Amino acid sequence: MARYSIQNNDTPDSPPEHRRFDRKTVGGKTTWMSSKIQERAHAAAKAATEVAVHIANPATAEAVAQEMIVPERREIVSHIKRKSEVPLPGEIQEVEPSTTQINEDALIYIRGVVSQAIEEGASDVHFEPKREMYQVRIRVDGVLHKVEERSIEEYQKVLNSVKVLADLDISEHTIPQDGHIELVQEAENTKGDEKHYYDIRVSSFPSVNGEVIVMRILNRANALLSIEELGMDSEMLEKLNEALMTSFGMILITGPTGAGKTTTLYSVLGELRNDEKNIITLEDPIEFHLDWLRQCEINPERNFTFERAMESVLRQDPDILMVGEIRDPHTAEHAVQSALVGRIVGSTIHANTTIGTIARLIELGIPRSIVGHTLNAIIAQRLVRKTCEKCKVIYEPDRKVLKHFGLEKHVGPFFKGKGCEACDNTGFKGRTGIYSLMTFSDELRNMLFDQKPLIDIYEHARLKGMKTLQEDAAMKIFAGITTAEEAARVV
Ligand SMILES: [Zn+2]
């Protein structure tokens, strides 16, 4: 007799707008069910004479049982994995427990690892199988730290449980998969019952020793830094605010991967947010789920590319459009067109500097005059670790490094963290941005219309007070916000 198990981590309060869930009303009860669960239930019902349903939410389990499985095969069992609930006798069908089931111990373990990672302020958690052990590493402030090593024997359970939680296909081991977990964490040490919501992007990748799991932790609260919280000085903020007081045009954020471009872009959108405005985002993938945005995910596998999305999104009547990234001539052209017809377009683009961004747009086929007409602001940025406030001491940085920032003549004092418990002996705690902001005066626009060389445009912007990344870094080094060595890593 073939037996199949269907598993899911539906929660009773899965929100209606959650993209992976469909609403089902069964027997007067409404529940939310992911389409994958429905597909699997159908497939299992066809293939098996018995189907076991292992689902966190009783209402969903009931709905699967009643609606999804053909009646003549309804030897269905709903099983609730919550510890407090004692299953009724005969209610549970064990189906190859070692390989196909969510393992309770593994769940508690994963939850513990992720909670610890969140407490440490990690952005990523890696589960990496080796030959005899698997290791867990977390990335804090951009640097990977090993947390522990455990026996490879336990890995299969951990791997399966993560995959089930993230709605990945547990029978597939040979191709990379992407999924998503939502986590609600009760905050300790705070008054009341504060809750933090995390979106965790899960990706599995096959390696010779088994599948590697990487979880990217995205705190929704962090996703919404106000522009004042980004770490720009007051003069730069004033200029940015001025540039945002516009009814059309482009705001571009540039920098290497991991420079915090998306966070800045969301902050800008947050600043432009207004109940009378329709804000639509096209993202690949969606990094943060925010309910005041209409977020759409690009899906190249289904041929829903940036290009196609851009072609049709204007019919959705946006006032403000966020495009995850401008990376090809078509996306660039559509972004510019949208700005020309009176929309505000925010996007990221791969370049190193503000002037490099203009060069990149020209390279992507946008005429200089149009660049001059549509751009409102370019922000170039990098991320640096902040010096730990708890263990800050005066020190003498390498003069060569100081020279890089034009600080060689300064006597200091300069500060670094000497390492303490609060910063895990790294001397750093948290991160901030290093920025260069280019805004567009009429003079600058005219220079672009007149086809002036980019070097002239750069010099004009400098004359009008545009800071370079080095200058912004120098200010932050001098203020003891970060160290010269740390800034030299990225600027
Ligand atoms: Zn410290």
Give me the mean pLDDT over the 150-165 stretch: 91
The residue out of 97, 123, 149 marking a domain boundary is 97
Same domain, residue pair 474 and 393: yes
Q: How far is the CA of 431 from the centre of ligand 1 (A)?
A: 14
Same domain, residue pair 301 and 166: no
The residue out of 193, 218, 243 marking a domain boundary is 218
Banded pLDDT at 22 (limits 50, 70, 90) = very low
The residue type at 154: E
The residue out of 97, 116, 136 marking a domain boundary is 97
Q: How many domains does the chain fold into? A: 3
Same domain, residue pair 204 and 234: no
Same domain, residue pair 92 and 113: no
Q: How far is the CA of 371 from the centre of ligand 1 (A)?
A: 46
Q: How far is the CA of 416 from the centre of ligand 1 (A)?
A: 9
User: What residues have their beta carbon closer than 5 A to ion ligand 1?
Assistant: 388, 390-391, 417, 420, 422-423
Q: How far is the CA of 217 from the centre of ligand 1 (A)?
A: 23
Same domain, residue pair 199 and 253: no
Give me the mean pLDDT over the 231-237 stretch: 95
Q: How far is the CA of 424 from the centre of ligand 1 (A)?
A: 7
Q: ∠ at Cα 292 (224, 240), nearest 5°?
A: 50
**pLDDT of amino acid 184:** 78
Same domain, residue pair 334 and 464: yes
CB atoms within 10 A of CB 310: 23
Q: What are 375-430's pLDDT values in tens digits?
A: 999 999 999 999 999 999 999 999 999 999 999 998 889 999 999 998 989 999 98
Domain that residue 49 falls in: 3-97
CATH number at residue 280: 3.40.50.300
Q: Is the pLDDT of residue 138 over 90?
A: yes
**pLDDT of amino acid 68:** 52
Same domain, residue pair 125 and 264: no
Same domain, residue pair 201 and 275: no
Between the alpha carbon of residue 93 and those of residues 11, 79, 90, 355, 364, the distances in Å are 21, 8, 8, 64, 59
Same domain, residue pair 227 and 214: no
Q: What are 87-102's pLDDT values in tens digits?
A: 333 333 333 333 345 6
Q: Is the pLDDT of residue 9 over 60?
A: no
Q: What is the model's pTM? A: 0.67
Give me the mean pLDDT over the 355-366 stretch: 97
Phi, psi of 468 (to 5 degrees): -85, 170
Nearest to 249 by CA among 236, 264, 231, 268: 268
Strand ranges for 278-398 from DSSP E = 279-283, 294-297, 320-326, 344-349, 375-387, 392-395
Residue 29 near residue 62, CB atoms below 8 Å: yes
Same domain, residue pair 83 and 113: no
CATH number at residue 159: 3.30.450.90
Q: How far is the CA of 195 from the centre of ligand 1 (A)?
A: 27
Same domain, residue pair 204 and 258: no
Strand ranges for 80-176 from DSSP E = 122-129, 133-140, 143-151
Same domain, residue pair 447 and 338: yes
Q: How far is the CA of 222 from the centre of ligand 1 (A)?
A: 22
